[in-house]
Amino acid sequence: MTEQPKFLRSSKAMPRQMTWWRRILFAIGLPIAYASLRLMWMTWRYRVYEDEGFAELERRHEPAVFALWHEGLLSCFWYAWRLLERGIGATFLISPSVDGDFGAQLLARFGSRAVRGSARRSGAAALRRLHRAICNDRQSPIITLDGSKGPRRYCKPGAIMVARMAGVPIVPIGFAARRAWRLPSWDRHLMPAPFTTIVIVVGEPYTVPRDMDEEALEVHRSDLEARVNASVKKAEAMVEAPTDTSVTKT
């Protein structure tokens, strides 16, 4: 009879731990990341166009779900910071992993409280945390509709589900830069050139119904996708930026 090994290696990857060297990296990297963002913001010129409907939401101090494409995330950080200065609790969904602590601590330096969760690994739990952040803490989550893996510019239903659960409107946002590079990533991330102009178009808020079947959900998903694309095209037209319509496939 063959003797069984005393210890078997689990097929499941062990979660990363907050080791001493990771603490050192965080201590060094956080100030650098914070200073780098602030430096980039100083070189960029921003033009923001907000729909009157959003201005009315702000006057009433009502939370909302901000919806954008993943490619505009770098440009969005500045706008999120400005929202925080205006008293709007802009926040992001950050992975609950140890590596996600870096993003959460960076947000904290700008005065934002991250919502910890993973839409890919524990979608239902992430939705509940976002719902609590909206209803209990009056936070306004910023959600990348095409997620963290794509396909590019394909609207996933997460933002619609969150807005429906919390009973708050969705606000589409589009970004464009007069001069920029496209990174060779799945989302062709927009990297504005130094000293360029960035246009941010904040579209009209709209509310989805509490009750909807799969067919209605698809209608609203497609509608939100079109609204964000319209905001992007409007921003691109204002700075005469070329439209990049390439997509990725799963």
The answer to whether residue 85 sits within a structural domain is yes
In a domain, 127, yes or no: yes
Indicate the DSSP class of residue 206: B
Please give the sequence-ordered ranges of beta strands (E in DSSP) within the chain, or none if there are none. Answer: 45-50, 65-68, 89-94, 115-116, 139-144, 170-177, 180-182, 190-192, 197-202
In a domain, 5, yes or no: no
Identify the CA nearest to 168 among candidates 193, 138, 194, 190. 138
Q: How many domains does the chain have?
A: 1
pTM of the model: 0.86
Residue 133 inside a domain? The answer is: yes
Closest CA to 247 of 130, 108, 153: 153
Inside any domain, residue 73: yes
The length of the chain in residues reads 250
Of 133, 128, 127, the residue nearest 107 (C-alpha):
133
User: 59 Cβ partners below 8 Å, 6+ apart?
Assistant: none
Query: Hey, how many other C-beta atoms are within 10 angstroms of the C-beta on 83?
Result: 20
pLDDT of residue 167: 96
Judge whether 177 lies within some domain.
yes
Q: Identify the pLDDT of residue 122.
A: 63
- Predicted confidence at residue 10, as pLDDT, reads 35
Q: Considering the domain boundaries, does residue 190 fall inside one?
A: yes
Distance CA 45, CA 177 (A): 10
Q: What is the pLDDT of residue 16?
A: 61
Structure tokens that stand for 31 in this block: 């100030």
Tell me, yes or no, whether 250 lies in a domain.
no
> Average pLDDT of each block of 10 consecutive residues along the chain (250 residues)?
39 57 83 91 96 94 96 93 94 80 86 78 81 94 90 95 96 97 95 96 95 93 97 96 67
Give the domain extent around 219.
45-239
**Domain of residue 126, CATH code:** 3.40.1130.10
pLDDT of residue 149: 87
| Structural tokens at position 144 | 């990348």
Q: What is the pLDDT of residue 48?
A: 97
